[in-house]
Chains A and B, each alone.
Chain A
Amino acid sequence: MSRDLVLGAIRRSLGVSGAEALRRTAIEDRLSRHPRGVVPERGALPPRKRLNLFRDMLAEASGTMQEVASPDEVPAAVAAYLRSKNLPLQIRRGSDPRLEAIPWQNEQALEVSVGRSDGNQLAAVSHAFKAVAETGTLVLTSGPDNPTTLNFLPEHHIVVVDAKDVTGDYETVWDALRKKVGKYFPRTVNWITGASRSADIEQVLLHGAHGPKGLHVIVIGKP
């Protein structure tokens, strides 16, 4: 009933019935074509420069980035990051095939568990779907292999991304996601730009409000 009330009131205000063919075509057209607006030129760069822009923008949002040549080097990079933060050598990760393929056993001291976070983990490793150089933003999608809790509950979040997945702008990411999943979206798409922060107390900027205090990105391969 409320539905008819609300829609009826909107239609009265607009002076329309809702059946106008032109209006219907207008919205159907926009929804199916989803035209792009103006995409800032900032991210339109050759791959190496694009990755550098990602690194710089991420640094502004107080995230760090390192490059490794292959997945084989990820365990050592993860262990080095944990040591630099004086954290125990333990991580929780999802079962993303790209994370499964990493030879974690190479780093013998590193304890790796798989699954969602229940709030007791200090560090987690996720694999990003894409990264956006424009603002140093990571894009992560939820699914059986990618628990969203890993992005928010641990104190440190380490995100692995392939160098070829670092795009210039968000629009490229949307097109890639549509291509991958079709019409039906994952429950959660997270854009993450830096570490959790708050300035709610006297406008003093502090990190680790509710989400991770630290965000570290490991980029695999040549851009």
Chain B
Amino acid sequence: MTVQITSPKFKKNARAALKDAQLQRALGKVEAGFIGKRRAVASRLPEFEVLRDLARDIKDHTLAHLDLYLEAYERRVTEEGGTVHWAATAEDARRIILDICKRREAKTVTKGKSMIAEEIGLNDHLVEHGIAPVETDLGEYIIQLRNEAPSHIIAPAIHLNRDQIEADFRRSHADLPAERNLDEPASLMAEARAVLRAKFLAADVGITGANFLIAETGTSVIVTNEGNGDLTQILPKTHIVLASIEKLVPTLEDVTTILRVLARSATGQEMSVYTTFSTGPRRAGDPDGPEEYHVVILDNGRSSMIGGQFREMLRCIRCGACMNHCPVYGAVGGHAYGWVYPGPMGAVLTPSLIGIDKAGHLPNASTFCGRCEEVCPVRIPLPKLMRYWRDREFERHLSPATVRWGLGLWALFARRPWLYRPATRLAMKTLALFGGRRGRMHWLPLAGGWTRHRDFPVPERDTFQAQWKKHRAEEARKKAQAEAEAVEAGKAGEKAT
């Protein structure tokens, strides 16, 4: 489905998500599913941290030479009998793909999971032109039945529970016996396997994304656990790869280094089950594989990111570790972010692609705890990049008046220490007075947003500066006393001799 942008309503989305019991039950499993597994598998590989450095360096090197690597890649794809198409915008990419499908007289199209296909709203476009796209990743298939967007970049249906999926299958697979048992995830998966197997074999065109494009060999790489991407790209007569410009890597050795950190960061696997390197169409004498191989290279705003503060974001290899480790994502889930890319990587990327005016809330949806940066396999400084967006939002007067007024007031004091110190002392004393002996307050003027949900702790004692001053004075007093005692002792010694 075309993703309707609801990022401007992030606050409303988040509030609804917090009250959604089904969603909260599903989100409760994120920690057990991802965090521990990643930690275990990363700590088992002594070279893991060095490999992260190398992965970062490979991406930086490629971005600095991206024009040349793209040209080299295009040359190799052409030599291997494939075709490269360039798409400056989402519209260009949709048109190119539709043209290929029409030329091949395609009725149904199978699709491997592709975030970029979501980004350009490919499915709706195909449907509008009479072509039926079928998502084949189990999670993507489920959300396609529900006409929903993915809520996680590697686990699209993570927001759903088994009973919801059972209801979807009973509704969508109406030709199957009503009395069949779908109590277990295994029976749901078996049903999806059977239904999709027929679609795989019937499809005219297969569309996949690409985790990487390799300049050395003209190869596209997909990484999956289900094998759906492979069935998508080997069974139909035409294979279309949709990939954005930053998927380039120079060589097989480079992609190998990055693959060593990808699965470990994403799912906590040593390696994903299927890593597939596809180069051109089927060769003479090959018993299977597509007759045509097309690669659509999408820019859609990324080339301008290369020149600015957000270039580092283009290192992202879409593992999802940042969202798995994000307390905000863990509380509200992916849909609240309101577009294709959720979590910390989405908070940085989404404003770049759809504009800070629409996505201004996202960089604010962070506690700045820094866990995302700690786990990012290519070491993207996500909190720093979110801070850049906050600066821009402020500069462009997009922040709400109350925030601007509050920050202005704070800045007025912060720039004048002689005013700031007595003012904070006064504020603390006043709060202490309000709080009384309980040490916490249930209500605070102008801070209802806080005190409605939790008590406000009352400041104890005094400001740090005041305490430090007192501490210094005390130290000085002790020192003077010690010296005085030493002098006394010295005098006493003299007397004794």
Contact = CB atoms under 8 A, between A and B. Distances in A.
A199 B273 CA distance: 13
Contacts of A15: 307
Nearest to A193: B271
A10 interface: yes
Contact of A10 (B45, B79, B306): B306
B423 to A, nearest CB: 45
Contacts of B306: 10, 13-14
B279 interface: yes
B72 A31 contact: yes
Interface string B159-195: 0111001000000000000000000011011100100
A54 B304 CA distance: 45
Nearest to B47: A40
B66 interface: yes
Interface in B36-78: 45-47, 50-51, 54, 58, 61, 64-72
B230 A119 contact: no
A196 B227 contact: yes
Contact of B162 (A5, A115, A202): A202
Given A116-B287, A197-B225, A153 B307 contact: no
Interface size class of B (residues with CB under 8 A): 35 or more
A104 interface: no
Contact of B234 (A30, A134, A148, A186): A148
Interface residues of A, number: 79
A208 to B, nearest CB: 7
Contacts of A202: 26, 29, 160-162, 185
A135 B85 CA distance: 35
B144 interface: no
Contact of B65 (A27, A148, A174, A193): A27
A61 B225 contact: no
Contact of B193 (A3, A136, A209): A209
Interface stretch (B253-261, B363-371, B409-417, B448-456): B253-261
Contacts of A41: 46-47
Given A7-B71, A10-B306, A184-B80, A203 B155 contact: yes
A191 B189 contact: no
A200 B136 CA distance: 12
A187 B228 contact: no
A208 B190 CA distance: 8
Residue among A13, A60, A171 having the largest count of chain B Cβ atoms under 10 Å: A13
11 contacts: A3-B86, A35-B251, A137-B271, A189-B279, A190-B230, A193-B274, A196-B273, A199-B225, A202-B160, A206-B186, A211-B226
